[in-house]
Amino acid sequence: MKKLYFLFWGIIFGIVLIKSEVASWFRIYEMFQFDSFHMYGVIGTAVISGIILTQLLKRMRVKSIDDKELVFQDKDFLPKKYLIGGTIFGLGWALTGACPGPMFALFGAGYYSILIAIVFAILGTLAYGVLKDKLPH
Amino acid sequence: MMEFLLEPWPWYVAGPLISLVMFALIIGGKTFGVSSNLRTICSACGAGKISGFFDFNWKAQTWNLIFILGTLIGGYIAQNHLSNDNSIALASDTVTELKNIGITTENQGYVPSELFDLSNNENVLLAVLLLSIGGFLVGFGTRYAGGCTSGHAITGLSQLQVGSLIAVIGFFIGGLFITHFILPLIF
Does A56 contact B at CB distance below 8 Å? no
Does A43 contact B at CB distance below 8 Å? yes
> Mean pLDDT over residues B16-41, rounded?
97
Does A122 contact B at CB distance below 8 Å? yes
What does the pLDDT look like over A12-43, one tens digit per residue? 999 999 999 999 999 999 999 999 999 999 99
Q: Give the Cα separation of A39 and B10 in Å (integer).
A: 10
* Alpha-carbon separation of residue A125 from A51, A136, B38, B176 (angstroms): 29, 16, 7, 23
Q: How confident is the model at residue A75 (pLDDT cuts 50, 70, 90)?
A: confident
Residue type, A89: F
Q: Give the Cα separation of B163 and A132 in Å (integer).
A: 18
Q: What is the ipTM of this complex?
A: 0.97
CA B34 to chain centre: 9
Distance from the A4 Cα atom to the nearest Cα atom in chain B, whole angstroms: 8
Burial class of residue B104, CB neighbours in 10 A (0-12, 13-18, 19+): middle
User: Would you say residue B1 has pLDDT above 80?
Assistant: no
- Residues with Cβ within 8 Å of residue A33, at least 6 apart in sequence: B91, B93, B94, B97, B179
User: Would you say residue B168 has pLDDT above 80?
Assistant: yes
What does the pLDDT look like over B119-150, one tens digit per residue? 988 889 999 999 999 999 999 999 999 999 99
Torsion on CA atoms A50, A56, A62, A64, rounded to nearest 10: -10
User: Would you say residue B51 has pLDDT above 80?
Assistant: yes
- B14/A65 touch (CB, cutoff 8 Å), yes or no: no
Q: Give the Cα separation of A55 and B2 in Å (integer).
A: 34
Rounded to the nearest 5 degrees, what angle is found at the Cα of B60, between the Cα atoms of A2 and A64?
A: 45
User: Would you say residue A1 has pLDDT above 80?
Assistant: no
Give me the pLDDT at residue A110, please. Answer: 97
Interface test with B, best of A96, A133, A134 (most B CBs within 10 A): A96
Q: Give the Cα separation of A72 and B155 in Å (integer).
A: 9
Q: Residue length, chain A?
A: 137
Sorted by where each begins, the domain ranges of chain B are: 1-84, 117-187
- B175/A94 touch (CB, cutoff 8 Å), yes or no: yes
What does the pLDDT look like over B94-108, one tens digit per residue? 999 999 999 999 888
User: For residue A85, which of B133, B162, B152, B140 has the smallest C-alpha distance?
Assistant: B140
Distance from the A122 Cα atom to the nearest Cα atom in chain B, whole angstroms: 5
Give me the pLDDT at residue A71, please. Answer: 85
- Residues with Cβ within 8 Å of residue A93, at least 6 apart in sequence: A28, A99, B138, B149, B171, B174, B175
Give me the pLDDT at residue A47, please. Answer: 98
Does B46 contact A at CB distance below 8 Å? no
Q: Are A117 and B115 in contact (CB under 8 A)?
A: no
Query: How many A-B residue pairs are in contact by the CB < 8 A criterion?
Result: 503
Q: Nearest CB to A117: which of B8, B31, B138?
A: B138
Q: Nearest CB to A116: which of B131, B162, B164?
A: B131
Whether the full predicted model's pTM is greater than 0.90, yes or no, is yes
Burial class of residue A93, CB neighbours in 10 A (0-12, 13-18, 19+): buried
> Mean pLDDT over residues B86-100, rounded?
93
> Mean pLDDT over residues B64-82, rounded?
97
- B94/A35 touch (CB, cutoff 8 Å), yes or no: yes
Computed over every residue of chain B, the mean pLDDT equals 95
Nearest CA in chain A to B146: A82
